[in-house]
Structure 1
Amino acid sequence: MKQVTASGQTVEDAVQSALKQLNTTEDQVKVEVIDEGKKGIFGLFGSKPAIVKVMVVDNHLLKAEKYIKEITTQLGVDAKVEKLVSGNEITFQLSGEKIAILIGKRGQTLNAIQYLLHLVINKNSNQYYTVVVDAEGYRKRREETLINLADRLAEKAVRSKREVSLEPMPSYERKIIHTALQDKKNIKTYSFGNEPNRHVVIKP
């Protein structure tokens, strides 16, 4: 953690001096006042400078935002990134031209970006965050597609009286399938296999 100790006529002056040395802004640091200083008589006699210790805070969210912009740029996409934080869930919304490149086949590229951001945000963090990366509302469309697929394959399993296996999916997509079918009394669902080939099985 980068930090400096600085002094000035006032606490504010000392903080500004430290920010200049660290080449950062006040929202990126933690300030500890060591001495508030003393103005002295007529601002001259008996005056004492204010002393502060300023530490740069490791901002995981800003690091992740910078990281996602680097990824999209390297993929040749000029994407706009919007961030929404709700409790311990962080959603990054991507928009712009060529957005299909960021989604990839069945969302594989988007899932890979989401996984990498999950690692970046939670590395050395005291708090665990759930990360969602969406692009032009793809996640909602994908959820609707998975629910329709689950219903269709559940009917197939009941009709054929045989287990039906779905394609490998990331854990949150498997959860959509399980949730969609949890109230159907004539079938059961379970996940089978190891990542990245873990998949849902629908059993009559």
Structure 2
Amino acid sequence: MTITVSGKTIEEAIAKAVSELQTTREQLSYQVIEEPQKGFLGIIGVKPAKIEAHVIPDSVEIAQSFLQTTVSLMGQEPTITKTESNDKILFHLTATEDTGRLIGKRGQTLESLEYLTNLVCNRGEQKYRRIELDIGDYRERRKQALEQLALRVADKVKTIKQPSALEPMNALERKIIHEKLKRVKGVETRSEGSGLGRHIVILPRH
């Protein structure tokens, strides 16, 4: 919604716009239509300042709308709930149909949706806002599966005393493996490869 507001000065017009739109100065976008002008002898024919103003859309709301539209085009109509914390914003999708289609193989579709949603949210923003997507508690189930895999492979490495490479994973999943095995005696981890082929190697440690 765009409104036109007048005031004795531009600052007064801005303050009125902020009040009428019930927003903050930071979220207000405005354009000066008319500069204030003093009349004859500074009194007669005084002309007020006039501005057009509107509220800058919240980037997180834009990102949520983008996500809703995108998954709708995929033939899904999930409910999206938002939870905010200090370091991230979580969009949790509750689908009524095929959740597997939104998750994809090893979570690749969900990762792609998350990547695109973050691009939309942070386009033109000075402060980065991190968005994570989850559906049907997939993230927690995937984390538990990765931790169990890490422990199984670590036991194997300690037994055969030979390195073992895991399948390629994204940075978040590699971090889960590193963190899980950081305090496990007898093994160490390192990331190798590049791009989509980046993976973890678990090695015996003497």
TM-score relative to the length of structure 1:
0.77
Alignment pair present for 1:84 and 2:71: no
C-alpha contact 1:5 1:51 (8 A) present in aligned 2: no
In the other structure, the counterpart of 2:41 is: none
Counterpart in the other structure of 1:140: 140
Aligned to 2:201: 201
Q: How high is the sequence identity, in percent, across the aligned residues?
A: 32
Change (3 A) 1:123 1:86: same
Aligned counterparts of 1:144 and 1:27: Cα–Cα separation in 2: 43
Matching residue of 1:192 = 192
Gaps of 5+ in 2: 33-44
Stretches of structure 1 that go unaligned for 5 or more consecutive residues are 20-24, 35-45
Q: Deviations over 1:61-82 (max 9, x none)?
A: 0110011011110110011011
> What is residue 172 of structure 1 aligned with on the other side?
172
**In angstroms, what is the RMSD of aligned CA positions?**
3.2
The secondary structure found in structure 2 opposite 1:196 is helix
CA contact (8 A) 1:166 1:201 kept: yes
Q: Which amino acid aligns with 1:151?
A: L
CA offsets per residue over residues 65-110 of structure 1, 9 Å max, x none? Answer: 0110111101100110111121231111000212221111221111
Cα separation, 2, equivalents of 1:160 and 1:57: 60
| 1:93 has 2:92 as partner | yes
Amino acid at match of 2:90: T
Residues 23 and 55 in structure 2, CA contact (< 8 A), matched pair in contact too? no
How far is 1:185 from its partner?
A: 2.2
Letter in 1 for 2:28: K
- Distance of 1:175 and 1:53 partners within structure 2: 49
Which residue is equivalent to 1:40? none
| Regions of 4+ moved over 4 Å | 8-12, 25-29, 46-53
Shift of the 123–174 alpha-carbon distance from structure 1 to 2, 3 Å rule, reads same
Larger mean Cα displacement after TM superposition, 3-12 or 117-126: 3-12
Q: Distance in 2 between matches of 1:197 and 1:127?
A: 30
Size of the aligned set, in residue pairs, is 185
The answer to whether the Cα contact below 8 Å between 1:83 and 1:91 also exists between their aligned partners in 2 is yes
